[in-house]
Structure 1
Amino acid sequence: MNPAHAAMPLHARIQRAIRQLILDGALASGKPLPASRTLASSLGVSRDTVESAYAQLHAEGFIERRVGSGSFVAEMTGFTPGQRRSRRDALLRNQTPNLSKRGASMFRSGGAREILLSRPFTQGVPETRTFPLPLWERLERQVLKEAGTQALLHGDPQGAEPLRKAIADYVNLERGARATADRVLVLTSSQQAMTLCANMLLDPGDRIFIEDPVYYGARRAFDAAGLECVPVRVDRHGIVVEQIMESPRKAKAVSLTPSHQFPTGAELALDRRLALIEWAARYQAWIIEDDYDSEFHYAGKPTACVQGLDRHDRTIYIGTFTKSLFPSLRIGYVVLPPQLVKPMTVARTLLDGHTATIAQLTLARFMEGGHFGAHVRAMRGVYAERLEVLTGLVNEHLSPFVESHVPIGGLQMPCVLTCDLSERAAIDAARRVGIDLLGLSALHAAGSGKAGFLMGFAAYTPAEIEVAVKKLASALQSVALQKRR
């Protein structure tokens, strides 16, 4: 019998086992079942238990009971018993699913990238081992004590007001934004924000300018929505806006990571920010600004966000606490132009209703008490030190293979291959020794990027980074030697 049924009463377990045999075709229509006394003796149960199972099967129409003859599998018109479950499930798994065009596009995108938390150099993962859990737990207890059972009910789909106010205050002060609580929409992630923008602001077939190279999450959201992504080259000053201005075919939006361009780390120059704002106003296009890890800037003070410079309200500002606090918090947000607040809020109710209330209220207290700012400042120092350590170790041990491009901020460092190893060979070699690298070439939409990989450093101590870099150097050396033979 199925182990999942072990907690059921005996008669229910027997009834389900027989029913499954009938559905799988192991017991064909008209086949006689054992007499209740015989089956009871065989199973070591009472006859009443078997009678109860047979009675339920009869009530459901799976068996017929004939006075003086016994019990038989019923004839079920319109139903053809299938193969055994294991064979049937295997066949179904291998079938091409009958998906919609948008569903097929989402499936082809591959979804979110697998996060291998135990492996060094996974990009985009913050340090969580030093997070102030006792403080967070105390604030959560305060929330539950004061809100009581109200915290267990459905929340405001736009987000809890205390958190929306805390977010607005934070981005105004730290990022130079123009935000108010009524313009903030709390979501579960920046990826959800991208999906909402792609589906609410553009139609399938519409054009959107994207950075080249580009953040894979944004590209997948836009592809899944059926948009035509137009890659625009990125240099050391960010996206090359001249290509947008001179494009013969206009687009309805542009997607940017201006604080630390993903994956190059470049900061978008102020004159380019202003030019994009004027372009969006002239053509009534949208600027989708993903400010995914702007808290962690290591060289000087970061430039104000595009949204704060945009007096025309054509910029949608996206932020997340996944990088600044911890991934499982599942809270992101978007600061919207006033005219988009209501339609975006309605749209998110169709996706997941609302974000978890208790986590929102706890985060609001964490921010109101100054703990968020203190945590970010502390981690900024930690990450800056780890970046410095990684840079030195890469230059010392990996210089025969790569050239490091030290970013001004963020949680990962790009490295460009300078040897004759292929990107795939390098990544596979790293994976074999328990190291996770993200290839650079696949992030270039136009397919013209240099081969290399990203090395996430935030979640690993200097000692862990040193061990991993040496292990990676040994793995690459081994592959290079094999290649020469």
Structure 2
Amino acid sequence: MFKHAQLESVKAWISHPSHAAMPLHARIQRAIRQLIVDGALGPGKPLPASRTLAKSLSVSRDTVEAAYAQLHAEGFIDRRVGSGTFVAEMMEFSPGQRLSRRDAVARNQPPKLSKRGAAIFRSGGVREMMVPQPFAHGVPEIRTFPLRLWERLERQVRKEASAPTLFHGDPQGTEPLRRAIADYVNLERGARATADRVLILTSSQQAMSLCANILLDPGDRIFIEDPAYYGARKAFDAAGLECLPVRVDRQGIVVDQIIAEQRKAKAVSLTPSHQFPTGATLSLDRRLALIDWASKHQAWIIEDDYDSEFHYAGKPTACMQGLDPHDRTVYIGTFTKSLFPGLRIGYVVLPPQLVKPMTVARTLLDGHSAPMPQLTLARFMEGGHFGAYVRTMRGIYAERRDVLVDLVQKHLSDFAEPRVPIGGLQMPCLLTGNLSERTAIDAGRRVGIELLGLSALYATSDTRAGFLMGFAAYTPTEIEHSVKKLVNAFRAVSKP
């Protein structure tokens, strides 16, 4: 028979909310099994008769019989005709197997990780908001996405491709999508791409992690912009690289600092078309100087072209990859911001010699990207829908940017000054009053507004206090409402 404490333990286990999805007999079986594993029920100890336990738990006898049958099948209990049910004699756990007080304490201690694992854990990872709230940065508008058109194209793919889309896909990506991407970046971004140089990935973050681990060794140096995208720095730190921050001005990364640097670096990571977070565009002379530097030093250029589709003043500058005759540039793109985050499709255009090594490396991470969304996206691009959608959203985003600029200048001028971007999905604002960055961010969060602080994006002490305000995912009405909430929050914490 169970002691009172053991019976109460079983009742608590089966009624716990986290176990609600399990069938009742499985919950009873798991609860008794845990008592055995923990040593609370030792070898040879009798268990209650199924009828008795069923009455104690207010369940049917069949439910308890099903739990006992599973425990017997797993070898935890013996059932003897005419004698009853007992914990199996072989269930003798050594002191080392039982959970000791020392084990219990150890469970609450930080895990012993590898150096790389510890670095990844310390970084905090890259977290995206499940349901973004104003003014979360880098979030596109998804409410206007032509979902019915997408679903129709998906049905066409499913009908025509049928069963093959259910198998493993090509680790490099489906050929139709690689071809569509090559055509797109050649036409719109001035790239030099072919389908066999494109590798489909889940995101630009995965691309940066691949570059960090495949192109460089732990301890190698890499130049990064200062300030820089936090996901890039975290990827490089996790790979054990030494990041050398390089100042950014109105013309982008200061290439002269790279050329003059005595410490040898094997790569540079940058966002030349729309620098994150300042919004600066790298000038042509600096692009050419950087390409020349990479060629002379046999270094790599990691070009993150994360939101170049959304440029609001003239045509965007051609990507660096298209200007590089030496094939030292890895070009990274993503559909997370141009279409919708849940698509999880990014890509890299690689130098020919890197295609096979990078493709093999990605098979160790996640094997391949799902064929169905790849083929649907390929059809979306081939039919001209992608270009039309981007053109439409470019106009919508430009309007929303202008609305945000006007509202910030009108309502937040006592606290912050906007830096109007020529492209992208967010606007940097520099704090001008006596409100600290931390106070501003916390005040916004208390009223349901999300701001990304600028100072955390700097590696050096030469920081600018401020925050990023995403505008793409929010209507003019939503932007106005949120700005007014934000100014009231700022005023509340700035009162003497």
> TM-score by structure 1 length?
0.93
Partner SS state of residue 224, structure 2: strand
Q: In structure 2, how many angstroms separate the alpha carbons of the residues matched to 1:46 and 1:420?
A: 68
AA at the equivalent of 1:446: T
AA at the equivalent of 2:381: M
Greater shift after overlay, 427-436 or 58-67?
Answer: 58-67
Specify the alignment match of 1:156 in structure 2.
170
Q: In structure 2, how many angstroms separate the alpha carbons of the residues matched to 1:466 and 1:44?
A: 57
Q: Which of 472, 477, 485 in structure 2 is aligned with 1:458?
A: 472
Per-residue CA deviation, residues 30-59 of structure 1 (Å, 9 max, x unaligned), is 533224453355456776765665455345
Matches within 5 A, 1:329-408: 329-408=343-422
Q: Which of 419, 442, 461 in structure 2 is aligned with 1:428?
A: 442
Specify the alignment match of 1:20 in structure 2.
34
Q: In structure 2, how many angstroms separate the alpha carbons of the residues matched to 1:60 and 1:188?
A: 40
What is the deviation of 1:447?
A: 2.7
Q: In structure 1, how many angstroms separate the alpha carbons of the residues matched to 2:295 and 2:279?
A: 27
What is the deviation of 1:117?
A: 2.9
Are 2:334 and 1:320 equivalent residues in the alignment? Answer: yes
Q: Is this contact kept in 2: 1:23–1:82, CA < 8 A?
A: no
What is the deviation of 1:234?
A: 0.1
Per-residue CA deviation, residues 95-139 of structure 1 (Å, 9 max, x unaligned), is 211211111101111111342634111000001100111111111
AA at the equivalent of 2:135: F
Q: Is this contact kept in 2: 1:429–1:475, CA < 8 A?
A: yes
Q: Is this contact kept in 2: 1:25–1:83, CA < 8 A?
A: no
Q: In structure 2, how many angstroms separate the alpha carbons of the residues matched to 1:51 and 1:300?
A: 75
Q: In structure 1, how many angstroms separate the alpha carbons of the residues matched to 2:136 and 2:106?
A: 34
Q: Which of 82, 87, 92 in structure 2 is aligned with 1:76?
A: 92
Per-residue CA deviation, residues 206-250 of structure 1 (Å, 9 max, x unaligned), is 000000000001001000100000000000000000000000111
Q: In structure 2, how many angstroms separate the alpha carbons of the residues matched to 1:478 and 1:256?
A: 39
Percent of aligned pairs with the same amino acid = 76
**Which residues of structure 1 form unaligned runs of 5+?**
none
Specify the alignment match of 1:444 in structure 2.
458
Distance 1:44 1:309, change over 3 A: closer
Are 2:182 and 1:136 equivalent residues in the alignment? Answer: no
Q: Is this contact kept in 2: 1:319–1:334, CA < 8 A?
A: yes
Q: Which of 160, 164, 171 in structure 2 is aligned with 1:146?
A: 160
Q: Which of 214, 220, 227 in structure 2 is aligned with 1:213?
A: 227
Partner SS state of residue 2, structure 1: helix
Q: In structure 2, how many angstroms separate the alpha carbons of the residues matched to 1:6 and 1:420?
A: 52
Specify the alignment match of 2:246 in structure 1.
232
Q: Is this contact kept in 1: 2:227–2:459, CA < 8 A?
A: yes
Q: Is this contact kept in 2: 1:105–1:224, CA < 8 A?
A: yes
Q: In structure 1, how many angstroms separate the alpha carbons of the residues matched to 2:165 and 2:147?
A: 20
AA at the equivalent of 2:465: A
Partner SS state of residue 47, structure 2: coil
Q: In structure 2, how many angstroms separate the alpha carbons of the residues matched to 1:7 and 1:470?
A: 47
Specify the alignment match of 1:247 in structure 2.
261
AA at the equivalent of 1:340: L
Q: Is this contact kept in 1: 2:132–2:139, CA < 8 A?
A: no
Distance 1:164 1:58, change over 3 A: closer
How many residues matched? 478
AA at the equivalent of 2:404: L
AA at the equivalent of 2:131: L
Partner SS state of residue 280, structure 2: coil
Q: Is this contact kept in 1: 2:14–2:28, CA < 8 A?
A: no
Q: Is this contact kept in 2: 1:123–1:455, CA < 8 A?
A: yes
Query: How big is the alpha-carbon RMSD for the aligned residues of Structure 1 and Structure 2?
Result: 2.3
What is the deviation of 1:295?
A: 0.6
Q: In structure 2, how many angstroms separate the alpha carbons of the residues matched to 1:118 and 1:148?
A: 35
Q: Is this contact kept in 1: 2:252–2:283, CA < 8 A?
A: yes
Partner SS state of residue 254, structure 1: strand
Specify the alignment match of 2:180 in structure 1.
166
> TM-score by structure 2 length?
0.91
Specify the alignment match of 1:256 in structure 2.
270
Per-residue CA deviation, residues 255-287 of structure 1 (Å, 9 max, x unaligned), is 010000000000000000000000000000000
Distance 1:93 1:372, change over 3 A: farther
Q: Which of 286, 295, 306 in structure 2 is aligned with 1:292?
A: 306
Q: Is this contact kept in 2: 1:24–1:83, CA < 8 A?
A: no
What is the deviation of 1:150?
A: 1.2
AA at the equivalent of 2:445: R
What is the deviation of 1:67?
A: 7.5
Specify the alignment match of 1:2 in structure 2.
14
Q: Is this contact kept in 2: 1:205–1:228, CA < 8 A?
A: yes
What is the deviation of 1:66?
A: 6.5
Q: Is this contact kept in 1: 2:42–2:92, CA < 8 A?
A: no
Per-residue CA deviation, residues 333-365 of structure 1 (Å, 9 max, x unaligned), is 000000000000000011111111110000001
Q: Is this contact kept in 2: 1:205–1:227, CA < 8 A?
A: yes
